[in-house]
Amino acid sequence: MTADEQQPEPVMIPLPEVDFPAGVCHFVATPIGNMADMGLRALAILSAADMVFAEDTRHTRPLFKRYGVITPLASYHDHNKLQVVPRIIERLAAGERIAVVSDAGMPCVSDPGFGLVKALLENDLPWTVIPGPSSTLAALVLSGFSPDRFLYLGYAPRKKGQRGTFLTEALDEPGTVLILESCHRIRSTLEILAELAPERTLAIAREITKLHEETPRGTAAELLEIMVGRKLKGELVLVIQGLGKRVRDEQPGPSSRQEKQNKRSARIERRKGDPK
């Protein structure tokens, strides 16, 4: 039996009627792990579009197969956006119905979609959003920290020194902070947090909506222990409990925090210079 023959039959669901005016770009949210989270209106828009631009067509195609969507797919990502955005603008100006999706969640949030939004604004072309799953909002609720005030900072910097400065500033926030982090760098990030704020409570939301979803909570040191031996995959959402206004007022000012970061950087530089 071939791989194609083993594929499950498409899930055929009666879709609602949708208004998809010509020349309007639709940014459509897609599942962040569990395909069953795909919205009916989102499916209807994707089915009605003349073309769907996806961050990675290899990632989006299984979703289309699952729900029987046959709209043509084209790629739109960081490496081709300079060439693709003008083509999308040209298609919309000609009256085509265009939809844009990312690999998971809402397009434009920590992905190249925002470049298209700026081009739409510059060309006075309309766009709208079909809302849906969001890893950051899901992680906020899963963390158990206050959702009354929160700040999303996107991806942490790759370079360790820049990440230290980034985290130092994040720790000074009164509200809950959400950061996207790679499974390959999460241990390094936790080590930095263990030094900068050893008592602060954190949470890591991983495999959200999937079979092995979990959100361990604790200090950075406690989370490092939990991560030992784990085979982590993909991206995780790191959630930092905020200081709260009263506590923040009692904390050392930015200069004290910067001094601490400077001392840490100096220690790292000294280690680099030590003989092996």
User: For the segment 230-265, what is each residue's pLDDT rounded down to a tens digit?
Assistant: 788 889 999 999 998 645 555 555 555 556 566 556
Q: Is residue 3 part of a domain?
A: no
Q: Is residue 2 part of a domain?
A: no
When pLDDT is cut at 50, 70 and 90, the band that residue 95 belongs to is very high
Residue 271 has pLDDT above 80, yes or no: no
Residue 99 has pLDDT above 90, yes or no: yes
Regarding whether 121 and 197 lie in a shared domain, the answer is: no
Q: Is residue 1 part of a domain?
A: no
The predicted model gives 172-195 an average pLDDT of: 96
Q: Say how many domains are in the chain.
A: 2
Regarding whether 164 and 118 lie in a shared domain, the answer is: no
The predicted model gives 52-65 an average pLDDT of: 96
- Mean pLDDT score of the chain, rounded to an integer? 89
Provide the pLDDT for residue 275. 46
Show Cβ contacts of residue 19 under 8 Å, excluding neighbours closer than 6 positions: none
Residue 57, helix vs strand vs coil: helix
Residue 148 has pLDDT above 90, yes or no: yes
Provide the pLDDT for residue 4. 47
Provide the pLDDT for residue 231. 82
Last residue of a domain, one of 103, 132, 161: 132
The enclosing H or E element of 204 equals strand 202-205
Q: Which of the 8 DSSP states describes residue 130?
A: E
The predicted model gives 13-21 an average pLDDT of: 92
Asked if 171 and 196 touch (Cβ cutoff 8 Å), the reply is: yes
Last residue of a domain, one of 82, 114, 132: 132
Residue 77 has pLDDT above 50, yes or no: yes
Provide the pLDDT for residue 1. 43
When pLDDT is cut at 50, 70 and 90, the band that residue 76 belongs to is very high
pLDDT digits (tens, 9 = 90+) for 201-220: 999 999 999 999 999 999 99
Domain range enclosing 229: 136-270
Rounded distance between C-alpha atoms, residue 100 and residue 74, angstroms = 10
**pTM score of the predicted model:** 0.84
Regarding whether 108 and 166 lie in a shared domain, the answer is: no
Residue 84 has pLDDT above 90, yes or no: yes
The predicted model gives 88-114 an average pLDDT of: 95
Provide the pLDDT for residue 237. 97
Regarding whether 189 and 87 lie in a shared domain, the answer is: no
Report helix angle 113-122 to 81-93, nearest 10: 40
Regarding whether 145 and 262 lie in a shared domain, the answer is: yes
Residues of the chain with pLDDT > 90, as a percent, come to 78
Regarding whether 156 and 126 lie in a shared domain, the answer is: no
Q: Any long-range contacts for 227-232 (C-beta under 8 Å, 24+ apart)?
A: 227/186, 227/187, 227/190, 232/183, 232/186, 232/206
Rounded distance between C-alpha atoms, residue 160 and residue 14, angstroms = 50
The predicted model gives 59-86 an average pLDDT of: 96
Regarding whether 99 and 154 lie in a shared domain, the answer is: no
Regarding whether 116 and 84 lie in a shared domain, the answer is: yes
Which residue would you say has higher pLDDT here, 177 or 9?
177
The predicted model gives 85-98 an average pLDDT of: 98
Please name the residue that has the structure tokens 């904390």.
251
